[in-house]
Chains A and B, each alone.
Chain A
């Protein structure tokens, strides 16, 4: 596994952990229960995230060989392709995210302003997930999309 694949895995798992953390916090906010283990989980999960990122920072420093470049021409091509896919997804997601409230609340409906940054962050997280998943898929496919002459 090269550096870009490792980074993609870190981002994917990181996004998953952040989403899980947000889910836990939302659950705690919505249910005023006194269950202690849920609160403990709300504290533990960021800790796990920090440990996970720290572990992968350590792993990323390890190279297969001292002469190995951080990024080569194939990595750049895969990164560009994944960015294109993520950008197209971002446009589609943005359209869907703005269309859904209209469908839900009608043309004259209203939305609390705090929802706007939440929608933005959610779309960004999904696009980041798509970007990293695309990177891993393209590495896994052996870059067959590039072999057409």
Chain B
């Protein structure tokens, strides 16, 4: 395993989507608010399914939401 980190734009995308709350996003993708917080802070790497659900919520591709750097 390398030293790559998975960054994401979820926070910005939420605000672009009419200031969507973390709870609203959590409800849409079927997780708890704590999980959304952990993903936004980079503390938790979501599964591919959850990543795709988040991207679909914002009408974006997975690469537009998550970046491996």
Contacts and interface: CB of A to CB of B under 8 A. Distances in A.
Nearest to A75: B32
B6 A143 contact: no
B67 to A, nearest CB: 12
Nearest to B47: A73
B45 A72 contact: no
A72 B26 CA distance: 10
Given A74-B38, A141-B43, 4 more contacts: A2-B32, A72-B32, A74-B31, A143-B44
Contacts of B46: 73
A69 B34 CA distance: 12
A8 B52 CA distance: 30
A32 interface: no
A149 B45 contact: yes
A33 interface: no
> Could you tell me the dominant secondary structure of chain B's interface residues?
loop
Nearest to A77: B44
Contacts, number: 65
Interface string A3-24: 1010000000000000000000
Contacts of B26: 65, 68
A34 interface: no
A3 B1 CA distance: 33
B23 A64 contact: yes
Q: Which 3 A-B residue pairs are closest in the complex by CB-CB distance?
A: A142-B43, A67-B27, A72-B31
Contact of A147 (B32, B34, B45): B45
B35 A147 contact: no
Contact of B44 (A2, A65, A146, A149): A146
A36 B5 CA distance: 62
Contacts of A146: 44-45
